[in-house]
A = this chain, B = another copy of it.
Amino acid sequence: MSEPSPSEFRELVRGFFEQIPFNRQIGLEMHELDLEQLTISACFELRPELIGNIWKNILHGGVIATALDTVGGLTALVAAYRHLGDIDWQEKIQRLSKIGTVDMRVDYLKPGRGESFTCHGSILRTGNKLVVSRMELHNDGGELIATGTATYLY
């Protein structure tokens, strides 16, 4: 297989994203992928099994961490893809398939209340081995629920 076109690449990323089993547990779906700005957004709906506190009906912190890590990692994947430039497609795929989270900080700013949530990822730095992503989670009322910063190795 040869280098995909931008729209093919976007669909590849979406396919990669949506086949991850634990993302399906959360119901996380990729919404936008901007190959120029290197930003990604993904959404999910509140569902009973995502609750961490049944009295307050708020998201489990682990759901938030999952959304942030997933979106941050996918943003890092796209940034690494761009950074690798014109190397052979097979070699690119090889490098990118090894991407993994090194560490992540999550700040829980407000209780995770809402009917639906949007997670947005952007890039702080892309290097030859590491990418640093920054992530934000908003609820459907536009409130900033959580932010994260994570380092990915590829």
The range of chain A's interface size is: 35 or more
Interfacial residues, chain A to chain B (CB-CB below 8 A): 19-26, 48-55, 60-63, 65-67, 69-70, 73, 97, 100-111, 124-125, 129-130, 132, 134, 144, 147, 149, 151, 153
A24-B49, A60-B21 are known contacts. Are A100 and B107 too (CB-CB below 8 A)? Answer: no
Set of chain B residues within 8 Å of A25, measured between Cβ atoms = 25, 49-50
Complex: chain B residue closest to A23, CB-CB: B60
Copies of this protein in the assembly total 4
A25-B25, A49-B21 are known contacts. Are A102 and B97 too (CB-CB below 8 A)? Answer: no
Set of chain B residues within 8 Å of A54, measured between Cβ atoms = 19-21
A107-B103, A125-B109 are known contacts. Are A50 and B62 too (CB-CB below 8 A)? Answer: no
Set of chain B residues within 8 Å of A69, measured between Cβ atoms = 61-62, 65
Complex: chain B residue closest to A125, CB-CB: B109
Which of B49, B125, B134, B151 makes the CB contact (< 8 A) with A151?
B151
